[in-house]
Amino acid sequence: MKNIQMNHAQKGFTLIELMIVVAIIGILAAIAIPQYQDYTARTQVNRAYSEISSLRTAVEERLSRGLTTGTYADLGFTGSNLTTETTGSTIDFTGGTGDLDGTLGQNASTAIATGVITLTRAADGSWSCTVDGNSVGTFKDSYAPAGCTFTP
């Protein structure tokens, strides 16, 4: 009698193969999640900076008309879900100097919440930017927009 051997095809993954896949996914997640959180915080700071920075033109226009005080609403600010400033927050550019502030909060990442972006106008008409992350232990200097000075 002839002994017939049949080749059986593998019908699934072995436990070792599944464990390797799970380990690879875990390693990728351990790297990707913190990178994504940094990316989110950095883009939120840049968006808040852009929203506040857009008000500089309105400040210059008001100063050219002799108007030195007012509110954020007077500048055209309609509110933001990243900053705690409201349309009723006041501004004062008496003498041509003053600040536009944006305190991060509301829907901002916890890594940047309570950080402050300040745009300061000097009497000569130049603007400077500072980002104060002092009250936030997790605010990294890499979150500050280009051209802004970071105060840890």
CATH of domain 15-151: 3.30.700.10
Give first-to-last CA distance, the chain, whole Å. Answer: 86
99-125 burial, b if ≥16 CB within 10 A, otherwise e?
ebbbbbbeebbebbbbbbbbbebeeee
**pLDDT tens, residue order, the chain (152 aa):** 566 666 666 677 889 999 999 999 999 999 999 999 999 999 999 999 999 999 999 999 999 999 999 999 999 998 889 988 877 889 999 999 999 999 998 899 989 998 999 999 999 999 999 999 877 778 898 999 999 999 88
| Claim: this prediction has a pTM higher than 0.95 | no
Long-range (24+ apart) CB contacts under 8 A made by 85-94 are 91/59, 92/68, 93/59, 93/62, 93/63, 93/68, 93/69, 93/121, 94/68, 94/69
- Residue 8's pLDDT is what? 64
- Residue 13's pLDDT is what? 81
Show me where the domains of the chain are located. Answer: 15-151
Work out whether strand 127-132 and strand 148-151 pair parallel, antiparallel, or are unpaired: parallel
- At residue 22, what are phi and psi to the nearest 5 degrees? -65, -40
Sign of the Cα torsion 10, 11, 15, 21 reads positive
Q: How far apart are CA 94 and CA 63, in angstroms?
A: 9
Q: How far apart are CA 21 and CA 14, in angstroms?
A: 11
